[in-house]
Amino acid sequence: MKIAVVGATGLVGGVMLRVLEERGFADNEIIAAASPKSVGKQIPFADRELTVVSVDDAIAMRPDFAIFSAGAAASRQYAPLFAAAGTTVIDNSSAWRKDADKPLVVPEINIDVVTPDDRIIANPNCSTIQMVLALSGLHRQYRIKRLVISTYQSITGTGIKAVHQLQEEEAWHAAEVVKAGHEVPTQLDAMGPHSQAYHYQIFRNLFPHGGDFQDDGYTTEEQKLVDETRKILRDPDIAVTATVARVPVVGGHSEAVNVEFYNEFDIDEARRIIATTPGVVLYDDPGRLQYPMPVMSEDRDEVFVGRVRRDLSQPKTLNLWVVADNLRKGAATNAIQIMEKLVTG
C-alpha cells in the first residue's frame, strides 16, 4: 500500500509514524506530508529516512490512505482533494466529526458504519475514544441513561507548544529556586519569554479549560464528549454533561465517569464486561493500591479502567476511572486501527 501521513512533523504525526512501524507497515510506501515550512526535512522511519513533501505533492501521488493530523482547517481544505483522487482519508481533527454523512469510528465499537463509498472517516476526540471504549460493553448490556464526566487531560493534547511551555516554566522555577535559595512562587507574568500555549501557567497548576468557550458556558472540548458519545454509541438520547480540566501531565488523559443506566446491574458482571471489552484493561484492586494512572498508560495502546464502584447516592449508577495515552489510542493508534480493519475486513 501507499500511505500518507499528513502533519507528519507534528506531535501526533510523529506518533502515527511510530505506530505504523510497530504495527507492521514499515515495508509499505510511506509518504510524509506537512506544511511548506517543513518540506524537504528528513524524518527517521524504520530503517530509512522519509523526505517531507507538500500536501499537494502527496495528493498527486494518489496514496491508498491518508491519515491526517494537521488541524481542522487543513483537513477541510485537503481531505476532499485526497478523496477526489480515490484516497481514503482518516482524519484526526474536529473537521468532520459532526457531519451526519461522515462515519465517526472507534473500530472495536462501530467499524460497521463505514461503507465502501466512504472516502473521509473521522477519528474521534481523544477523551471520547477512551471513554466510549470503556463504556461500550456496559451500554450494550444495561443501556446508558446519563453520563457525568470530569476529565484531567494531559498537556500533550494541546500539542508540542504546550509541552515547551511546561518545560520552560519548570526550568524557570528551578533557576529561581537556586537564585533565591528557597521556594518561590511561579507566576507566568513574572517569567521571561515562553511559548504560552495557555493563558495561565501549567506548572504546579491546573485549569478547568480545554478548547474554546461557547455561549452556554461549556467549552468545545466538553461539547465533543456530548456529541461524539451519542454518535459513536448510536444513542441520541444519552444525557451527557462534562467538565474538562488541563493538568501538568505529559502522558495520558484521565477521566472520572459517573454512569447512570436504565437497567439495574450486578457489580461483578459489570467488572467482567469491562475486563472482556477488546482494548480495555481492568486494573482495579484498591486493597493493593492498584488503579490506573497516566504514567502507566504512556506509550501503551490499551484503555485502563479502575475504581469501579456503585454510586451509593442513587440507583443503577456506576463510577469509573478511565486512563489512556491520548496520543496513541486517543489519536494515532485508533486511526491506524481503522485503516487495518478496512484493509483486512
Q: Please pick, among 126, 139, 173, 194, the residue that the annotation labels catalytic.
A: 126
**8 Å CB contact between 120 and 85:** no
Stated as kind and residue range, the H or E segment containing 257 is strand 253-261
Q: One-letter amino acid identity for 149?
A: I
SS3 content of the chain, % helix, strand, coil (to 5): 40, 25, 35
Closest by CA position to 279, among listed 248, 254, 301, 249: 301
Q: Which three cell numbers stand for residue 320?
A: 469509573
Q: Residue 291: left if φ>0, alpha if ψ -120 to 50, beta else—which one? A: beta
Q: Can you tell me whether residue 149 is helix, strand or coil?
A: strand
- What is the torsional sign of CA 74, 77, 57, 67? positive
Distance in angstroms (rounded) separating the CA atoms of residues 29 and 7: 17
Give the Cα separation of 77 and 203 in Å (integer): 36
| 3-class secondary structure, 345 | coil
Write down the catalytic residue from 139, 173, 194, 253. Answer: 253
Q: Is 199 a catalytic residue?
A: no
Does the active-site annotation cover 126? yes
Cβ(33)–Cβ(50) below 8 Å = no
Question: Which of 255-277 are b and which e, b meaning 16 or more Cβ less than 10 Å from the residue's Cβ?
Answer: bebbbbbeeebeeeebbebbeeb
Q: How many CB atoms lie within 10 A of CB 110?
A: 17
Nearest CA among 167, 203, 177, 171 for reference residue 188: 203
User: What positions carry a catalytic annotation?
Assistant: 126, 253
